[in-house]
Amino acid sequence: MEDKKSLIIAIDGPAGSGKSTTAHLLAKRLGYLYLDTGAMYRTLTWKALKDKVNIKDEKALSQLAKKIQICLKPGSNVETKVYLDNKDVTSLIRSPQVNKYVSLVSIVKGVREAMVAQQKKLGKNGGIVAEGRDTTTVVFPEADIKIFLNASLEERVERRWKEEKTKGIFSNKEKVAAGLLKRDRIDSQRKISPLKISEEAIVIDNTHLSISQTVDKILKQVKKTVK
């Protein structure tokens, strides 16, 4: 039987598909490391905005991506704690401003190369649940289990809108939908590592599933894989 600790589980999907919560809980259940790759792109975007780096300056963004020290640690609730040079940036990287620019920062070749190299290093010994847009296709094409998580646009908007409300951000659903659609478009149509369904991926539509039902579905797959 394969050592349960050594599996690589990769989950991709669009914004609001419940990837982060699913991946976090799944990692907890398995005692695995949870790798939130989106948080890494968000942290870089936050830092670039803070340092007033021109978002169109690919060279400057790539240099920043190579230089910064991002550290992910399990938090007490469903959120992973994100540190940049020892500063806790967990909530700062979820701001509407970061939401707006992160897709643009993550299309830069040098940025992706630096991030993917860090992610591969973190996963090299397995025992990891990696989540993002390209974890099944580019970061861990050798993953033992590949999942593509999706939900209807309506449901994704509802989830994102509620999430923002709990953070005191009062937006309207039309605005949230426009933001999600724009990110979906940039993430899926970019030249480098677009969001797409890997051939070996198991597609789970969780529009009508709770997070624990989604996690259970993936755990069934884990059981099959380690048998």
Interface ranges with ligand DC (CB under 6 A)? 15, 37-38, 41-42, 102-103, 106, 132-135, 183, 187
Q: How far is the CB of 60 from ligand DC (least distance, A)?
A: 18
Q: How far is the CB of 206 from ligand DC (least distance, A)?
A: 15
Q: How far is the CB of 11 from ligand DC (least distance, A)?
A: 10
CA dist 40 and 71 (Å) reads 9
DSSP letters, 8-70, are EEEEE--TTSSHHHHHHHHHHHHTPEEEEHHHHHHHHHHHHHHTT--TT-HHHHHHHHHH--E
Residue ranges with strand state E in the chain? 8-12, 33-36, 70-74, 80-84, 87-88, 128-132, 145-150, 202-205
Closest listed residue to residue 134, CA positions, set 64, 70, 191, 85: 191
**How crowded is residue 51: how many other Cβ atoms within 10 Å of its Cβ?**
9
Give the nearer residue to ligand DC in terms of CB position, either 4 or 194: 194
Q: How far is the CB of 106 from ligand DC (least distance, A)?
A: 3
Give the nearer residue to ligand DC in terms of CB position, either 38 or 126: 38
Give the nearer residue to ligand DC in terms of CB position, either 21 or 103: 103
Q: How far is the CB of 112 from ligand DC (least distance, A)?
A: 7
Give the nearer residue to ligand DC in terms of CB position, either 44 or 222: 44
Helix (H), strand (E) at residue 111:
helix 109-123
Give the nearer residue to ligand DC in terms of CB position, either 93 or 222: 93
Q: How far is the CB of 1 from ligand DC (least distance, A)?
A: 31
Closest listed residue to residue 152, CA positions, set 207, 202, 204, 203: 207
Give the nearer residue to ligand DC in terms of CB position, either 4 or 122: 122
User: Which two tokens mark 214?
Assistant: 């989604």
Residues 6+ apart with CB under 8 A from 210: none
